[in-house]
């Protein structure tokens, strides 16, 4: 274990986009550290999430759906915004461009805004999901890159806006992570070799690598950190 057992005992953590990939990995990892975890998202969670994790069907691009998520008396200590989509090549179409921004960027704002009152009560924190494309452009994914650049700036802005409430707002920026969404790249020797050749630690990351960084940012070890965009990329950004 990288952290003490039951680090988040007695704390309730909401993870959006937690029905697969990185989001599911984060939800499971925080649960293993004693948190009561609510996984919000769309799609099946069969054989993905620990059975003790509460699952709620939530569409972050729908305001009513987001409002309903917080319409309860449950305390909330941390929010991890992982909900996101990518539409390679199709993002040059304006309707697709708008859809990606609505989920990835505006969805992050919807969740954060609605969670604010609960997090004020617990002096909690928000961890957003940035990306390497918060720093680089992406010719095939202009909407995804724009949304993730926006998430980075939103993180810094909310860190300032929410500080008076005692709420910290940070983000992680994953590099190349081995998930079903990147399986085709992992299976392609040429493209995988290029990715690993640019990554100083010379391996694909795992959802748990990202989850550990999220756990750190949620913990008291990061009590004086806010507005941070933390790369979890094996050195890809600096290579």
pLDDT tens-digit map of 100-155: 999 999 999 999 999 999 999 999 999 999 999 999 999 999 999 999 999 999 99
Which pTM was predicted? 0.97
From 173, 168, 147, select the one nearest 156 (Cα to Cα): 168
Report angle CA 193, 196, 199 to the nearest 5 degrees. Answer: 155
- What does the pLDDT look like over 1-60, one tens digit per residue? 789 999 999 999 999 999 999 999 999 999 999 999 999 999 877 779 999 999 999 999
Q: Which CATH architecture has domain 12-238?
A: 3-Layer(aba) Sandwich (3.40)
At which residue do the structure tokens 């390497």 appear? 132
For the chain, the structural domain boundaries read 12-238
Active-site positions?
144
């Amino acid at each position: 274990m990288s952290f003490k057992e039951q680090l988040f005992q007695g704390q309730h953590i909401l993870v959006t986009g937690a029905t697969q990939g990185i989001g599911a990995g984060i939800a499971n990892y925080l649960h293993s550290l004693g948190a009561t975890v609510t996984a919000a998202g769309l799609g099946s969670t069969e054989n993905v999430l620990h059975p003790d994790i509460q699952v709620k069907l939530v569409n972050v691009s729908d305001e009513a759906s987001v409002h309903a998520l917080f319409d309860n008396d449950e305390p909330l200590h941390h929010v991890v915004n992982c909900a996101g989509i990518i539409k390679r090549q199709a993002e040059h179409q304006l309707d697709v461009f708008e859809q990606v921004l609505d989920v990835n960027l505006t969805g992050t704002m919807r969740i954060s805004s609605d969670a604010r009152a609960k997090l004020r009560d617990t002096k909690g924190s928000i961890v957003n999901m940035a990306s390497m494309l918060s720093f680089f452009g992406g010719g095939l994914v202009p909407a995804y890159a724009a949304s993730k650049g926006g998430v980075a700036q939103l993180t810094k802005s909310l860190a300032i806006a929410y500080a008076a409430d005692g709420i910290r707002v940070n983000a992680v920026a994953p590099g190349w992570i081995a998930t079903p969404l990147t399986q085709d790249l992992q299976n392609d020797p040429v493209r995988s070799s290029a990715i690993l050749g640019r990554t100083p630690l010379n391996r694909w990351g795992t959802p748990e690598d990202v989850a550990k960084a999220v756990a750190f940012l949620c913990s008291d070890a990061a009590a004086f950190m806010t507005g941070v965009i933390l790369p979890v990329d094996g050195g890809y950004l600096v290579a």
